[in-house]
Structure 1
């Protein structure tokens, strides 16, 4: 489950990226609007004062002998072009008495003479709903007007102290906005984390095969519903698997129990026949063969029952203290005490450091694992072989290496035990080695297979060291 701090950091970072993206987007839109305005109104949009100055500069005065006073002022063709270019609808020139001494397209509705109050009004606001520009020119007033729907005129005036304190107010406003943004981002991140926390707990419960029952309300309601459904499905499947495994274990245990009595009779009668002096040599051999096969069947039944219990953790471990080096030597000695065939030789080699190691484990099961490996070498080398048992301590682990001078374990068997190949159960039997791996795994270790130089594989059993004398 992600920590609260990590979720909040990512949420705030994502929100910050979103805000910056929106801000840049708005700046791009404003730039696009400005660019379109320039394309629409010309390559270079001048300040209003510059426009009026350009027009005023194109006025000229006629000869003093002209009879009409209004004819003294003339505008050049370039000046008229400026008026068209700057989108003025009309224009007029007022003398110091407020009278119109020159005009261009002046609407009939506008008066031809203005008082001081009129000039004050339209300079600040509108002239009969026409937005106008005013420019002083040699003691006279140049007035140019736009269409009534062309522009909006706004006059603003602020106290000087407000203008001077604007940067401070702006910094305060920006700081408050940033603080508000952080508070809101943290709040929403915490709410998001709180809504996800049950979902994460449900996922952890599924991983641990525990039932999940989440509330299906809120932002994660649909996800919680899916987790609840998944939990019910997995619980149902797990229940069916347990029932199947219990039935399998019970069947194996029942079959093992039912076979014991007739198998004991067969072994008893075959042994009696093998020792009966009245029977001929051939009958003795047949009785001994029946006895040996009965022993093999009993061993297979015991292996099947043991591997089933180990697989489903139904075999209790009788933990006692033991010395791994001593256990290895005892196992080798048992074979000699049982009358080992002269064709076979078993040697046990122990690193001196292992003599001080003491472990906790089920001695009978561990000895069973060692005997399975040794017995495997004996069965698959009928002409005899040398079996070497070595024990050492490396990197905090006890390592048993069991090798023989014969062909070793076939690669196909190793592939089957490693799950790289299916076990058809017809040509190769791997139950003994599988039990070895299960016993070592039950003690917290693992069994590996070592490639020999002459071909085939040996066995390496690894157990973690628990303590020393």
Structure 2
């Protein structure tokens, strides 16, 4: 169940990443918003600029034209309080009537940190007095007692980080609690899907947030169980039918072969009749071999044939098959050549010896059956890259590219057509493929370098 913890980690990672991005975004928006509140700088700086640009003339105090226009544009009024008289000796034209014209020291202290009649005021120091700017009432909020505890300022970074950590922890706890029911529902769903892939029976409680999905998985499990049972019945019936038919055919076929053999040996018959009897014997043997191949192929397909793999030297096993064929006194038009490198003395693999011999025998017999005019058959064993490869090739008629493509990719080789006399690569190759597949090997069909047909059987070497 590695997927559920992975899913939980993914949820938590997304939640933490979203929280951090949200915090960063908030700080960025706060900074942008703060900067937009004072695009022309601090009001304190503006007040000092006004004080610097206020000059005394013979008729009184005069403010530079640019600065005056700037104040007028911002709807800011200004006054200049003389140090000695403590009275207003200069003012802008649009000064509110509620603004006092004389001040005490306490009044100046109050307006410096606060307001005049609700107008937020800011001061700038001039040579002979104090410049006071008054901004619109709804433009600034001033802190009347701007003092902070020293330890609070020193510990502010730690405090901010602590608050941030607490917030993240609370968000995480809320997130886990809110999604706990979902996570509890996900775990059995994942287990059920994994069990379906291994053809196990599944039953999930149909409750929770994912109850509809649980119902679908349970229905799928029931359908697969029913289909699997029906398939097993069909496979068993098919295998039993093939085994029964094979058994029932053997007895009459043996009688046909026996009587045909007697007729072939009867010197009182004409040569033509004896040749016909020989054809009956030869075709009966082929039929017997086909029946045996069909029965064995059926057992291998449904895993009914016991496999007894043992460590074997494939060179010795394949050489014995070649020797057996030579000792059978086969027709002179067929010759078998052993091409294995003499320096290669061993190529071991875990195989069922009898089945491997059966596979190689089928390939050699296949070369004979499909080359009635005769052929030269080449057999060799090659060891390369921890793989033992048995090669059976001939210089016969071979096959076309299209036929080889079909033989390599078609799941079966049974061919039915009207040309019953035409020899086809059929059940024998299917049986060979099943034997090699049962040994975790690979069969490849291709053109022979001798101009005919070639089959390579690759098996993993044993350690």
Give the TM-score normalised by the residue count of structure 1: 0.77
Alignment partners' CA distance in 2, 1:61 and 1:458: 116
Q: Give the deviation of 1:142 after TM superposition.
A: 3.3
Q: Deviations over 1:197-246 (max 9, x none)?
A: 66665554444333444566678777766655555554444444333333
| Deviates most, 425-434 or 154-163 | 154-163
Alignment length (residue pairs): 452
Map of 1:146 onto structure 2: 135
Out of 230, 235, 242, the residue aligned to residue 232 of structure 2 is 242
Alignment partners' CA distance in 1, 2:173 and 2:397: 69
Map of 1:376 onto structure 2: 366
Map of 1:325 onto structure 2: 315
Q: Deviations over 1:322-347 (max 9, x none)?
A: 54333333323333443322222223
Give the TM-score normalised by the residue count of structure 2: 0.77
Distance 1:111 1:326, change over 3 A: closer
Q: Deviations over 1:103-159 (max 9, x none)?
A: 443333444444444443333222222222234444544333222223222234335
Q: Give the deviation of 1:464 after TM superposition.
A: 3.0
SS at match of 1:333: helix
Q: Give the deviation of 1:435 after TM superposition.
A: 0.9
Out of 353, 358, 365, the residue aligned to residue 363 of structure 1 is 353
Point out where structure 1 has 5 or more consecutive residues left out of the alignment: 39-43, 64-70
Establish whether residue 120 from structure 1 lines up as the match of residue 116 from structure 2.
Answer: no
The answer to whether the 8 A contact 2:120-2:136 is kept is: yes
Map of 2:95 onto structure 1: 106
1:67-86 matched pairs, under 5 angstroms: 73=61, 77-78=65-66, 80-86=68-74
SS at match of 2:435: helix
Q: Give the deviation of 1:400 after TM superposition.
A: 2.2
Map of 1:92 onto structure 2: 79
Map of 2:46 onto structure 1: 51
Map of 2:123 onto structure 1: 134
Distance 1:393 1:120, change over 3 A: closer
Alignment partners' CA distance in 2, 1:403 and 1:330: 17
Alignment partners' CA distance in 2, 1:249 and 1:31: 80
Point out where structure 2 has 5 or more consecutive residues left out of the alignment: none
Establish whether residue 338 from structure 1 lines up as the match of residue 338 from structure 2.
Answer: no
| Deviates most, 179-188 or 73-82 | 179-188
The answer to whether the 8 A contact 1:58-1:78 is kept is: no
| Deviates most, 268-277 or 252-261 | 268-277
Establish whether residue 465 from structure 1 lines up as the match of residue 461 from structure 2.
Answer: yes
Alignment partners' CA distance in 2, 1:75 and 1:329: 119
Establish whether residue 208 from structure 1 lines up as the match of residue 198 from structure 2.
Answer: yes
Alignment partners' CA distance in 2, 1:187 and 1:411: 67
Establish whether residue 440 from structure 1 lines up as the match of residue 430 from structure 2.
Answer: no
Alignment partners' CA distance in 2, 1:22 and 1:87: 38
Map of 1:455 onto structure 2: 451
Distance 1:314 1:101, change over 3 A: same
The answer to whether the 8 A contact 2:192-2:204 is kept is: yes
Alignment partners' CA distance in 2, 1:45 and 1:123: 21
**What root-mean-square deviation, in Å, do the aligned CA atoms of Structure 1 and Structure 2 show?**
4.3
Alignment partners' CA distance in 1, 2:117 and 2:336: 124
Map of 1:254 onto structure 2: 244
The answer to whether the 8 A contact 2:334-2:375 is kept is: yes
The answer to whether the 8 A contact 1:53-1:135 is kept is: yes
| Deviates most, 277-286 or 221-230 | 221-230
Map of 1:29 onto structure 2: 29
